[in-house]
Structure 1
Amino acid sequence: MPIAILVLFLAGYGYALVVLPHLRLPLLVAGVVIGLGSAVYLWRQGPPEAERAAQRITAAELSFDQVDLARSGRGATLTGRVTNGSPLYRLREMSLDLRLRDCPTPETEPADCPTIGESSAISRPDAPPGQIRAFSAHFTFANVPPVAGTLRWDWAVTALRSTE
């Protein structure tokens, strides 16, 4: 609806500029003032809310414990607890990446093992500042081969969303 109102306003403005030649100069001045005022207003608003929500909490402010992976036929579920170390912001959701690796021996470093599956998921723990919440994220994998050695996995937080 606001866009329709804007289009009607601009059409009326253009019509007035053409039909009322004696008002062109005041109308042009008013248009420039309104345009500059709108630009300054939008510039002072800062980045959009989605961008601010992604920057309020850093991954370093979170701590995790009791993290476990349960495999299913078509994927895996990562569960655990997250502590929101931010003193001001509520953690709403986390984007997580999970990588499955097939290591020849249990002692092999994960970085030296071939990756057999990668997936991303979103978890919504909704943790208030300074509190602990459980989290869960389900990952789906396509075409994961059978594990020949030892299954190793690692995960990482790739994005966060928070509110005040």
Structure 2
Amino acid sequence: MASVLNNNLLSLLLALYRLEGPLSEVECSALADISETLMYFPDDWDLIAPTLTVVIESNATLQGLYQESLTKLEALNGQLPPHLLPTLAELEQDLPSDTNEPADFSHMMELASEENPEIAPDIPSPEILNAAIKICGTPQPEQSVKQVRAITRIWQFLQQRRSSQK
């Protein structure tokens, strides 16, 4: 389940990265809801999926970009090189928070896995989780995501991989 959540969250971020137009207020609000849900329930795909699905399906352009990104990520079979993922320090540098607290939500995953050890394999990557929470929680996620260097690196990697397979 973690790879499903990782792929879906990263596909969303990549789709937002490539989106050229602005999101609607309703879409931004729904993404903020996803961010909040991820903060408190990082392993609960059943809570996250419905809102994510509504956001993606309500915007045809976003849906196409999301599907393309998801296809590319699934082709990797969970083998995205770890050095491409955003570190917490990089996220803080790219998207400084309004507070002095770092935006590290991996402690929620630790709590969830301590309370329910059987769900540990379902918990997403802390790097992807932190990026999704931080980006989706901003007022304009489609603009914020473009400031995150790791998302650019991941997209370039996927593009280069596709070119080398031709």
Select the structure of larger CA radius of gyration.
1
- Structure with bigger strand share is 1
TM over 0.5: no
- Structure with bigger helix share is 2
Shorter-chain TM-score category?
A: under 0.3
Superposition TM-score, scaled by structure 1 size = 0.24
Superposition TM-score, scaled by structure 2 size = 0.24
